[in-house]
Amino acid sequence: MKQGVKHTIKKNSSYFLTLTVIGWIDVFTRKNHKDAIIDSLRYCIQNKGLNIYSYCLMSNHLHLIINCNEPYELKDVVRDFKKFSTKKVLNQILNEPESRREWMLSEFSKAADGSSKHKNFKFWQVGNHAIELYTEKFIWDKINYIHNNPVAEGFVSNDFEWRYSSASNYHDRESILPEVYCLSLRLQTIK
């Protein structure tokens, strides 16, 4: 891919996405904020036709392999997820115990300055670094990359130990988001 080409969702297909918090702020070190993201994903699964094949929530970003059912458009579902999760996490920061409240709100407020889309706070960086999935090898490379994130960071020894990841789904273990479609079960729908 040429340097400078923007990674965007161009069609209703399957994509590898990375959603990143403004300034790489480590928001998702708190259980309530992580759970807000899982709840937002679950809402999109149940109400927006979202299909998740792999995910991993790290301290400041979220990796996903996803697509969606018609009549929904993936770009719209991702936009709605970002809006919904932003409101939920910001509400938690404002109303629940959070020692970093003032600093985080200041950073989110600065990020919103000059933005026509964001009135007071901007939580997610622009874009999703969307990469369309094109071969089975590429898909598995991305799934392995996603699941290995917490291992590479030294958070866990085995990928399935990270609670906020689909690795447990792929190892037939209890999962915080059981609605994930494991690739081996639904390969034909992700191609």
Q: Quick check: bond before 71 cis, omega within 30?
A: yes
CA-to-CA distance for 1 and 8, rounded, in angstroms?
13
* pTM across the whole model: 0.89
| pLDDT average, residue stretch 115-139 | 87
| pLDDT average, residue stretch 154-177 | 94
| pLDDT average, residue stretch 98-115 | 91
Q: Does residue 78 contact residue 17 with C-beta atoms inside 8 Å?
A: yes
Domain covering 15-190 in this structure, CATH number: 3.30.70.1290
Per residue in 1-31, pLDDT (tens digit) is 334 445 778 778 899 999 999 999 999 999 9
